[in-house]
Chain A
Amino acid sequence: MSVTDKPTGSLRHRLYQGETNFRFISLWRRWFLISGVVILIGILSLVFQGLNFGIDFEGGTSWEVTAPGVSVEATRDALGPTGQGDAQVQILGGRRLLVEAAPTGPEEQAKVTAALAKLAKTSASNVAIKSVGPSWGGEVTSKAQRALVFFFLAIALYISLRFEWKMAVAALAAVVHDILVTVGVYSLSGFEVTPATVIAFLTILGFSLYDTIVVFDKVDENTKGLAASGRLTYADTVNLSMNQVLMRSLNTSLVAILPILSVLVIGAGVLGAATLKDFGLALLIGLLTGAYSSIYVAAPVLALLKEREPRYRAIRQRLDARGGVGRGAVLTPAAAMAASGGMDGAGLGAEVPAGEARAPKAPTPPRPRQQSNRGAPRPRKRGRRR
């Protein structure tokens, strides 16, 4: 992230006060490049390496048993006589043994069960067995795909009605970004894809929309005040909104990630529950990319879309021509708040006059950006758009 103003306090302090001044929007090329590269790598990996589907997709049998202190090698040796010596063996949380193999007949299955029970020094009834037909995973996938299509339609409709269709497009662009990145991460890392993974991930899409909508709600509020007044371009309004809700976004992401980390570290890592691992991993990746995309994908896409509207293009031209304070500087939220003071009566109307209220805080006044030459690429960009 790039900071244009000299810090007036520690970053932590400014974050806390909502006085950061990150250029989320104007550097959109950079963010899109980063996302594009990540997605491209993911797609290449997908093409050449594919995904590591679990037995639920390929069909097969798995056994799970609590066996503290048993090694992978010992398990392989024990499985050798059953003809499953090359089955996939995993140890979860140091105590749970997970064996996965191609589909087996009932007799072979019983043999493996007996061998594992003996290895774990327990009875066969303590061995969990799962067997999956080859078409099951396919059905989960097709159901998930259908769910995804309806999800897109419903969300597009909802955001269009609640806000506007351009926000729906931007939000869905972020969701598509999340899907591509997650699929890429799964392909690159070779993490196993199970139905739990798919569903957990789908659920997290709704959850990552939460962040996007928090940002958009703020943009919506600000455009009614600042942008409508013609003092700020739409892009700058979005940028301002982003800075205003940054701490909110960070906090919501953090409190969402904490329990998931706990699922992953405590539930899967220490206590060794395989399902928790599948869930936790998909949720973590989905949340991280969701947090990123709501800031670096959804918001810039929205700004780019809206800047094409004649109304906001006119504001930009006028502000560019004036070339003054209002245009050049990306306002700090606090300053913008003050600037908007009088007109945004509904949300921000002040009992204490805005100026007075800020005075004791000695806030940073709006000031021109120092490296004004860095604005140079912008006219070019706009020229192309016209």
Chain B
Amino acid sequence: MRRPLVTSLVGILVIAVLSVVYTQVVGNKPLLGLDLQGGVSVVLKPVKKVDSGVLNQSISIIRSRVDALGVAEPDISRQGDAIVVQLPGVKDPERALRIVGTTAELRFRPVLNVLPASDNPATTTTAAPTTTTTAPSTTTTTSKVPTPVPTTTTTTTAPPGGTATTPREQDQPEKTVILPETKAGNVVRRYQLGPAELTGRVLKTARAQFDANNGAWAVNFELNGEGAKKFDELAAKYVGRQVAIVLDSEVKSAPTINTANFQGSGQITGDFTEKEAKELALVLRFGALPVQLQAENSEQVSASLGSDSLRAGLGAGLVGLALVVLYMILYYRALGLVVLLGLALSGALMWSIVSFLSANNGLALSLAGATGIIVSVGVTVDSYVVYFERLKDEIRAGKTIRSSVDRGFARAYRTILAADAASFIGAALLYLLTVGAVRGFAFFLGLSTVLDVVVAYFFTRPMVVLLGRNRAFTEAKWLGVARGLAATSEGGRA
């Protein structure tokens, strides 16, 4: 009887120590949520119902945008039909929100120059590519006649200010920029582009269509009321020249304008495959994302406010913990020390598990989670109370401490299991059925319930049983277990 107890006690202590050592050696640390370290979070929802494939596609597009931002631990996930983007530790939150949150802005920029794909000074003066196959062209819907027009009018001179491709974050509408056009991930050519003249807002809709007249795919677009006027102004200015459609700092297409009068709708023709035409139509409609997303909810937390909150959470937790332990020691004496040890053990295991999940599953400890942990102290200590009060019952019923500790545990453990199961069901349901950072709260409460059951069985039981057999311990004046249990009638003369 004694051996298994010792084994269990030593076992769980060794596991706790090993897991803490492992955490230290591997360097796992709990990942702080963005409300504790500062950062940006945004919840994006599609404006209309879409299937999950479209949503997943949006997520991967957002992910590639975020990767370009260089955030250390971005978390982009789907919750229901919402996309949650969390970017802890972002330096410039406004820009991050702009890039992630908005459907990227579609811009129409005049083409000043066509450059080769590679940024090689020796080839800057080469002429623009021939127009025969790849050069797109525009026709008015009224004429319906695809008339390819020679593309370039202003080539041959090296653009001022170098020929380096403009980095994404310097792609500002009012600047002259050099941006690439890619096909299947490879840059096929680059364009030097003037300041943006129009944005995608002028567009009402766009659709890919097979044009039977010339047996090729084309993209038809319609302009909105104000857009029609602006687009005609643009067309008048650049008629006979190329205008690039730019999105996410990439040239999607650079058709040549061949009329000054679009009257509210137009067609882009060129050497499109069906897929290319459909993609271009999508781009024109929504920007890069296959569905228009709306920022439902956004949050920016400054780093200083985050560390403030972290301090508040830690402070509250420590004071709460101290109060509980103090009360336990005052009330149960030596058994209160068991509570202290048990909490330290739970804490070590919790720390290791949270660190592990942080490192491997990107679990972040938010302020809500921290509160969950603080509250879980209450849950954990509850089981000690149930056990110790049960001990009191047994001793009052006339049993010795020695025999009470075993039987008392068996009975109390049933109660603890029943009660913890109810708590756990609640926490699990909340975790599964809710959204947002508050999930963390349910997660940590649920985790601590499980830990509670484990620690009660493998630590509290053997610890108390072994202590109960130790006469020196049960009879010691100040730390006497008997005193803690008020067994004044028993052998322990406290």
Pick the contact of A125: B35, B93, B374 (CB < 8 A): B93
- The digit string for A260-301, where 1 denotes a CB below 8 A from any CB of B, is 111100111011110110011001000000000000000000
Indicate if the CB atoms of B308 and A203 lie closer than 8 Å.
no
Provide the residues of chain B in CB contact with A125, threshold 8 Å: 92-93, 302
Indicate if the CB atoms of B296 and A210 lie closer than 8 Å.
no
Within 8 A of B (CB), among A126-150: 126-133, 135-136, 139-140, 143-144, 146-147, 150
Cα distance A351–B400 in the bound complex, in angstroms: 9
B398 at the interface (CB under 8 A from A): yes
B297 at the interface (CB under 8 A from A): yes
Indicate if the CB atoms of B367 and A276 lie closer than 8 Å.
yes
Indicate if the CB atoms of A259 and B426 lie closer than 8 Å.
no
Pick the contact of A162: B368, B375, B418 (CB < 8 A): B418
Identify which of B300, B393, B397, B434 gathers the most chain A CB atoms within 10 Å of its CB. B397
Cα distance A256–B381 in the bound complex, in angstroms: 8
Within 8 A of A (CB), among B403-436: 403, 407, 411, 414-415, 418-427, 429-430, 433-436
Query: In whole Å, how far is B79's beta carbon from the nearest beta carbon of chain A?
Result: 9
Within 8 A of B (CB), among A35-74: 56, 64-66
A169 at the interface (CB under 8 A from B): no
- The digit string for A226-252, where 1 denotes a CB below 8 A from any CB of B, is 000000000000000000110110011
Of B118-126, B210-218, B323-331, B456-464, which stretch is located at the interface? B323-331
Indicate if the CB atoms of B320 and A276 lie closer than 8 Å.
no
Known contacts A206-B427, A267-B316; is-contact A255 B296 (Cβ 8 Å): no
Provide the residues of chain B in CB contact with A337, threshold 8 Å: 393, 396-397
Indicate if the CB atoms of A352 and B398 lie closer than 8 Å.
yes
Indicate if the CB atoms of A258 and B378 lie closer than 8 Å.
yes
Indicate if the CB atoms of A199 and B434 lie closer than 8 Å.
yes
Cα distance A337–B395 in the bound complex, in angstroms: 11
Cα distance A147–B411 in the bound complex, in angstroms: 32
A133 to B, closest residue via Cβ: B296
Indicate if the CB atoms of B320 and A217 lie closer than 8 Å.
no
A179 at the interface (CB under 8 A from B): no
Query: In whole Å, how far is B77's beta carbon from the nearest beta carbon of chain A?
Result: 16
Provide the residues of chain A in CB contact with B305, threshold 8 Å: 64-66, 96, 126, 128
Query: In whole Å, how far is A383's beta carbon from the nearest beta carbon of chain B?
Result: 36
Indicate if the CB atoms of A203 and B441 lie closer than 8 Å.
yes
B40 to A, closest residue via Cβ: A129
Indicate if the CB atoms of B423 and A351 lie closer than 8 Å.
no
Indicate if the CB atoms of B308 and A96 lie closer than 8 Å.
yes
Provide the residues of chain B in CB contact with A358, threshold 8 Å: 398
A348 at the interface (CB under 8 A from B): yes
Provide the residues of chain B in CB contact with A315, threshold 8 Å: none
Query: In whole Å, how far is A63's beta carbon from the nearest beta carbon of chain B?
Result: 10
A344 to B, closest residue via Cβ: B397
Provide the residues of chain B in CB contact with A151, threshold 8 Å: 425-426, 429-430
Provide the residues of chain B in CB contact with A360, threshold 8 Å: 489
Known contacts A133-B295, A199-B442, A200-B441; is-contact A255 B313 (Cβ 8 Å): no
Query: In whole Å, how far is A354's beta carbon from the nearest beta carbon of chain B?
Result: 6
Identify which of A140, A151, A279 gathers the most chain B CB atoms within 10 Å of its CB. A279
A165 at the interface (CB under 8 A from B): no
Provide the residues of chain A in CB contact with B8, threshold 8 Å: none
Pick the contact of A207: B312, B327, B379 (CB < 8 A): B379
Indicate if the CB atoms of B389 and A247 lie closer than 8 Å.
yes
A162 to B, closest residue via Cβ: B418
Query: In whole Å, how far is B76's beta carbon from the nearest beta carbon of chain A?
Result: 18
B99 at the interface (CB under 8 A from A): no
Indicate if the CB atoms of A251 and B385 lie closer than 8 Å.
yes
B298 at the interface (CB under 8 A from A): yes
Query: In whole Å, how far is B364's beta carbon from the nearest beta carbon of chain A?
Result: 15
B46 at the interface (CB under 8 A from A): no
- The digit string for A2-13, where 1 denotes a CB below 8 A from any CB of B, is 000000000000
Cα distance A263–B309 in the bound complex, in angstroms: 12
B486 at the interface (CB under 8 A from A): yes
Provide the residues of chain B in CB contact with A210, threshold 8 Å: 379, 382, 419-420, 422-423
B321 at the interface (CB under 8 A from A): yes
A353 at the interface (CB under 8 A from B): yes
B43 at the interface (CB under 8 A from A): yes
Provide the residues of chain A in CB contact with B397, threshold 8 Å: 337, 341, 348, 350, 354, 357
Provide the residues of chain B in CB contact with A354, threshold 8 Å: 397-398
A214 at the interface (CB under 8 A from B): yes
Indicate if the CB atoms of B378 and A255 lie closer than 8 Å.
yes
Cα distance A125–B93 in the bound complex, in angstroms: 8
Provide the residues of chain A in CB contact with B45, threshold 8 Å: 133, 135
Cα distance A135–B379 in the bound complex, in angstroms: 34
Query: In whole Å, how far is A255's beta carbon from the nearest beta carbon of chain B?
Result: 4
Known contacts A17-B396, A255-B324, A273-B367; is-contact A203 B379 (Cβ 8 Å): no
Indicate if the CB atoms of A283 and B375 lie closer than 8 Å.
yes
Of A82-90, A153-161, A302-310, A319-327, which stretch is located at the interface? A153-161
Indicate if the CB atoms of B378 and A256 lie closer than 8 Å.
yes
Provide the residues of chain A in CB contact with B403, threshold 8 Å: 351
Cα distance A279–B305 in the bound complex, in angstroms: 18
A residues in contact (CB < 8 Å) with B: 16-18, 56, 64-66, 96, 122, 125-133, 135-136, 139-140, 143-144, 146-147, 150-151, 154-155, 158-159, 162, 195-196, 199-200, 202-203, 205-207, 209-210, 213-214, 217-218, 221, 244-245, 247-248, 251-252, 254-263, 266-268, 270-273, 275-276, 279-280, 283, 334, 337, 341, 347-348, 350-354, 356-358, 360-361
Q: Could you pull out 26 A-B pairs where Cβ atoms are within 8 angstroms?
A: A17-B486, A128-B299, A129-B300, A130-B298, A143-B80, A151-B425, A151-B426, A199-B430, A205-B426, A209-B426, A210-B423, A213-B418, A221-B411, A247-B392, A251-B389, A252-B385, A255-B381, A258-B378, A262-B316, A263-B320, A268-B316, A271-B308, A271-B316, A273-B309, A276-B309, A361-B489
12 further A-B contacts with Cβ under 8 Å, apart from A158-B422, A259-B321, are A129-B300, A155-B425, A195-B438, A196-B438, A199-B438, A203-B426, A203-B441, A252-B386, A258-B320, A263-B374, A267-B316, A357-B397
